[in-house]
Chain A
Amino acid sequence: MSIKVTMPALSPTMEEGTLAKWHVKEGDTISSGDVIAEIETDKATMEVEAADDGTVAKIVVPEGTENVKVNEVIALLAGEGEDTDSVSEEKPEASAPQPAEDADEDADEEETSGEDEKAPAPPAVKVASDPELPEGTEFEEQTVREALRDAMAEEMRRDERVFVMGEEVAQYEGAYKVTQGLLAEFGDRRVVDTPITEHGFAGLGVGAAMAGLRPIVEFMTFNFAMQAMDHLINSAAKTRYMSGGQMSCPIVFRGPNGPAARVGAQHSQDYASWYSHIPGLIVIAPYSAADAKGLLKAAIRDPNPIIFLENEVLYGKSFDVPQLDDYTLPIGKARVMKQGSDVTLVSYSHGITYCLDAMAKLEEEGIDAELIDLRTIRPLDIDTVIESVKKTNRVVTVDETWPHCGVGAEIAAQVQAKAFDYLDAPILRVTQKDVPMPYAANLEKLALPSADEVIEAVKTVCYR
């Protein structure tokens, strides 16, 4: 059997080209790797290397031929011990090369698969409800800051693989004092101060996670995580998929997110929608101290890369936290914070404060709002929202992302697709205004969402 040399493709889009030049003639002996011809495409001239050893028995396509189709036989080689004469008698057309046929079939299949085959439906995700608290559970008032610290400390006691790294997390005890006391308890092997080098230590954390450790990487604020974005998305989020499930990246990136107070444009941004865009990431943004604790503990145990968005303004706020040995919450489950019948408010993190303020006033005016704290932004617990919409028929979203492609936009899209017939009014969004955060106190106030804006939106959808 002769060896067929076929017209190569030089890019996935090339279909044909010109066989510009032969570097060999019939009777020449060639080895694998030798340049035997040159071909031209509209983009470039490229050399063709032999992939086999042998003697050129027949040049099928002479040089200068244009529009030679990819995979057409251009020459025949006689292998070792073969007679070049008999090979040159073979009819290349009749014995079209096996791989080329395969390739054609594949190409056809792909084309048909593109047209005929529908993408299968995504798997349904079932998330457990919050665990019932045992009777007689005691509560302690704790700040969000303390709850987060306790969550980390408990998980570090539980699992030797868990460690914390970031800027000022150890000796300084956290720029926002979230890691207070951790160095004293766990030492500098497990509480690691890094240089100011977000891109580097985020990538380092990813490597450590791939090796089986459970890093908690603190960003002093998520504004600085922009420097590390490539590792969060390309290295952490995609590893499981790209490896066919072979390798995972169990890591928690956490830190304050969203506008603080008077820190200007580069330090005031809610990144929830950015990270929520990425398949492979889980995005959590709690409001209360109890949720912060239960969800951070769950996040540290979770086998996936997690973006855990905290909020500077909420750090010092106190809440009742159940005093249980091991309080964890399900990731991906929204909480109905208050039942109501007239309108559904959907919010998370600091957005909740605007809602609570607004709801107090709305109640005075006889409007009974239901408040949903998403807690996890990805995966989004849209079912809980839909259930509520079926009851209230009205939705207002409240968050500190910008409106364009923000979290509210996603909720609006999903609600109209899944509960269109239940809606009695357009879905409205209360967001950060579509401008970089101004510094001036009055402008900053105007740029942020407010309880008044929530009230106005609620009245609009209630036609009041």
Chain B
Amino acid sequence: MATRSRSSATSRKKPSGKSSTAKSSTAKRSTAGKTPARRKSASGGKSASKSSPAGFDKDEDLKAYRDMLLIRRFEEKAGQMYGMGLIGGFCHLYIGQEAVVIGMQGAIEDGDQVVTGYRDHGHMLATGMDPKGVMAELTGREGGYSKGKGGSMHMFSVEKNFYGGHGIVGAPVPIGTGLAFSNQYNRTDRVCLTYFGDGAANQGQVYESFNMAELWQLPVVYVIENNQYAMGTSVARASAQTDLSKRGTSFNIPGEQVDGMDVRAVREAGRKAVEWCRAGKGPYLLEMMTYRYRGHSMSDPAKYRAKEEVNKMRSEHDPIEQVRKRLIEQHKLSEDELKSIDKDIKKTVNEAAEFAQSSPEPDPSELWTDVVELSEGA
């Protein structure tokens, strides 16, 4: 891993007589000044109207298809298992938003960090965490990532640089900013992807974080997953400024809206943002226009939106169908080839589900472990 000596490690603070802050803010302004792509007011949801992103080659589309399908099938299975009483408590499914994490994951490198809120299964699978371990955590079993002690909202992987999995709306934002702080402190060129939703975007700590991130030029990409509903409250009913890409404007954080249903658009915007951060120019904000097909959690009947709205998104903007169509039409894949991929994914998910049911519950002695690390003190 390349360690770049960061001149901005000192520009974090404003040493008297240094002009580093001025320099970087000039660089920023040229982008920040640009009007973010305006959203079309399509009924049933908004989507960013950008010129179409660079296409994926066959391998890229194949990988995106596999990765997104894994999340889709995993979540469907989780929903099913919840229905059977195998998964308890809260269970927030990611179905519909797959292009966001898969596109962003394609924009980062090994060693970059990821942190998110409670709708987190997709992020974990995207970072390469084992579906078995994730599913077994959902069922509260010993084989889960947190030995069954965390649950759906609380999983971590040091190995995959996944820092949770946080159940409190808005909390991952300063945490992700802190991960970025550590990158700068350690003089690495790592970047932290900090995901949060349109609901979290109204939390005060988000703006406290924005302020410090820009003030100290921290390498953090803030990814707002705007799925248009904070539980049952639409963005318009909760936000004075509904263009969330502008939420960093008063901190001079450049932001843009991205079609979060198109994995190509996500990766392209993600690469640009990550490059910006890696170059030491400070934080970057991406508003992913996306959509969740399911309710907020398993017990949400989603009566706050019209069925037509959901159906329209599913039939016209589905992130996986878009890629599937390209695979058939542009890359000339046969139905059989696609079926074989589907079969593979299904197998992986079924194995995860089986593991999640056969793995034993944690030993009662686990009740008392991992509270604090006991040490001799002195």
Per the bound structure, the CA–CA distance linking A298 and B212 in Å amounts to 29
Q: Do residues A208 and B212 form an inter-chain contact, with CB atoms below 8 A?
A: no
Per the bound structure, the CA–CA distance linking A230 and B174 in Å amounts to 12
Q: Do residues B113 and A32 form an inter-chain contact, with CB atoms below 8 A?
A: no
A282 at interface, CB cutoff 8 A: yes
Specify which of B168, B178, B208, B365 lies most central, judged by the most chain A CB atoms within 10 Å of its CB.
Answer: B178
Q: Chain B nearest CB: distance from A208 CB in Å?
A: 4
Q: Chain A nearest CB: distance from B283 CB in Å?
A: 12
Q: Chain B nearest CB: distance from A14 CB in Å?
A: 8
Q: Chain B nearest CB: distance from A216 CB in Å?
A: 13
Q: Chain A nearest CB: distance from B349 CB in Å?
A: 10
Q: Do residues A329 and B378 form an inter-chain contact, with CB atoms below 8 A?
A: yes
Hey, what's the 0/1 contact readout for A63-95 against B, CB within 8 Å counting as 1?
A: 000000011000000000000000000000000
Q: Do residues B185 and A163 form an inter-chain contact, with CB atoms below 8 A?
A: yes
A59 at interface, CB cutoff 8 A: no
Hey, what's the 0/1 contact readout for B72-94 against A, CB within 8 Å counting as 1?
A: 11001101111111101100000
B158 at interface, CB cutoff 8 A: yes
Question: Which of B146, B171, B215 is within 8 Å of A244, CB to CB?
Answer: B146
Q: Chain B nearest CB: distance from A77 CB in Å?
A: 13
Q: Do residues B10 and A188 form an inter-chain contact, with CB atoms below 8 A?
A: yes
Q: Restricting to B148-185, which residues have a CB under 8 Å from any CB of A?
A: 148-150, 154-158, 163-168, 171, 173-183, 185
Per the bound structure, the CA–CA distance linking A102 and B376 in Å amounts to 44
Per the bound structure, the CA–CA distance linking A328 and B117 in Å amounts to 38
Q: List the one stretch of B50-58, B102-110, B258-266, B366-374 in contact with chain A.
A: B366-374
Per the bound structure, the CA–CA distance linking A199 and B15 in Å amounts to 25
Write the chain A residue with the least CB distance to B78. Answer: A51
Residues of B within 8 A of A49 (CB): 76, 79
Per the bound structure, the CA–CA distance linking A50 and B180 in Å amounts to 41
Residues of B within 8 A of A44 (CB): 299, 301, 303
Chain B residues bordering chain A, tally (CB within 8 A): 83
Q: A12-B89, A213-B182 are in contact. Are A131 and B378 (CB under 8 A)?
A: yes
Q: A123-B368, A244-B145, A282-B372 are in contact. Are A200 and B205 (CB under 8 A)?
A: yes
Q: Do residues B13 and A199 form an inter-chain contact, with CB atoms below 8 A?
A: no
A247 at interface, CB cutoff 8 A: yes
Q: Chain A nearest CB: distance from B161 CB in Å?
A: 9
Per the bound structure, the CA–CA distance linking A279 and B293 in Å amounts to 38
Per the bound structure, the CA–CA distance linking A337 and B81 in Å amounts to 59
Residues of B within 8 A of A33 (CB): 72, 76, 95, 293
Q: Do residues B144 and A206 form an inter-chain contact, with CB atoms below 8 A?
A: no
Q: Do residues B371 and A241 form an inter-chain contact, with CB atoms below 8 A?
A: yes
B209 at interface, CB cutoff 8 A: yes
Residues of A within 8 A of B298 (CB): 10-11
Q: Do residues B155 and A71 form an inter-chain contact, with CB atoms below 8 A?
A: no
Question: Which of B76, B89, B158, B204 is within 8 Å of A51, CB to CB?
Answer: B76
Q: Do residues A128 and B378 form an inter-chain contact, with CB atoms below 8 A?
A: yes
Q: A44-B299, A120-B367, A304-B372 are in contact. Are A207 and B178 (CB under 8 A)?
A: yes
Question: Which of A107, A194, A333 is within 8 Å of B377, CB to CB?
Answer: A333
Hey, what's the 0/1 contact readout for A274-315 against B, CB within 8 Å counting as 1?
A: 000001101000000000001000100011100000000000
Residues of B within 8 A of A194 (CB): 212
Q: Restricting to A214-254, which residues have a CB under 8 Å from any CB of B?
A: 230-231, 234-235, 238-248
Q: Do residues A231 and B377 form an inter-chain contact, with CB atoms below 8 A?
A: no
Per the bound structure, the CA–CA distance linking A333 and B377 in Å amounts to 9
Q: Chain B nearest CB: distance from A333 CB in Å?
A: 7
Residues of A within 8 A of B338 (CB): none
A106 at interface, CB cutoff 8 A: yes
Q: Chain A nearest CB: distance from B256 CB in Å?
A: 24
Question: Which of B10, B180, B301, B371 is within 8 Å of A46, CB to CB?
Answer: B301
A348 at interface, CB cutoff 8 A: no
Q: Do residues A244 and B149 form an inter-chain contact, with CB atoms below 8 A?
A: yes
Q: Do residues A208 and B84 form an inter-chain contact, with CB atoms below 8 A?
A: no
Residues of A within 8 A of B88 (CB): 12
A16 at interface, CB cutoff 8 A: no
Specify which of B9, B293, B377 lies most central, judged by the most chain A CB atoms within 10 Å of its CB.
Answer: B377
Q: Restricting to B127-161, which residues have a CB under 8 Å from any CB of A?
A: 144-150, 154-158
Per the bound structure, the CA–CA distance linking A197 and B203 in Å amounts to 13
Question: Which of B89, B175, B181, B378 is within 8 Å of A330, CB to CB?
Answer: B378
Q: A70-B85, A207-B182, A242-B149 are in contact. Are A51 and B79 (CB under 8 A)?
A: yes
Residues of B within 8 A of A336 (CB): none
B119 at interface, CB cutoff 8 A: no
Residues of A within 8 A of B186 (CB): 213
Q: Chain A nearest CB: distance from B15 CB in Å?
A: 7
B24 at interface, CB cutoff 8 A: no
Write the chain A residue with the least CB distance to B149. Answer: A244
Per the bound structure, the CA–CA distance linking A298 and B115 in Å amounts to 30
Hey, what's the 0/1 contact readout for A110-139 against B, CB within 8 Å counting as 1?
A: 000000010110110101101100000000
A8 at interface, CB cutoff 8 A: yes
Q: Chain B nearest CB: distance from A321 CB in Å?
A: 16
Q: A120-B368, A242-B146, A330-B376 are in contact. Are A197 and B211 (CB under 8 A)?
A: yes
Residues of A within 8 A of B113 (CB): 211
Hey, what's the 0/1 contact readout for B201-225 against A, CB within 8 Å counting as 1?
A: 0001100110110010000000000
A425 at interface, CB cutoff 8 A: no
Q: Chain B nearest CB: distance from A146 CB in Å?
A: 21
A340 at interface, CB cutoff 8 A: no
A103 at interface, CB cutoff 8 A: yes
Residues of B within 8 A of A128 (CB): 376-378
Per the bound structure, the CA–CA distance linking A458 and B374 in Å amounts to 36
Per the bound structure, the CA–CA distance linking A302 and B156 in Å amounts to 21
Write the chain A residue with the least CB distance to B184. Answer: A189
23 interchain pairs, CB-CB under 8 A: A11-B299, A33-B293, A45-B301, A99-B84, A99-B86, A99-B357, A102-B86, A188-B12, A192-B12, A192-B13, A200-B211, A203-B178, A204-B177, A205-B178, A207-B174, A235-B171, A239-B164, A240-B372, A243-B155, A243-B370, A244-B144, A294-B378, A330-B377
Q: A99-B81, A243-B145 are in contact. List 13 more A-B contacts (CB 8 A).
A: A12-B89, A43-B299, A123-B374, A195-B215, A199-B208, A204-B209, A207-B182, A208-B179, A246-B146, A247-B163, A304-B372, A328-B378, A329-B378
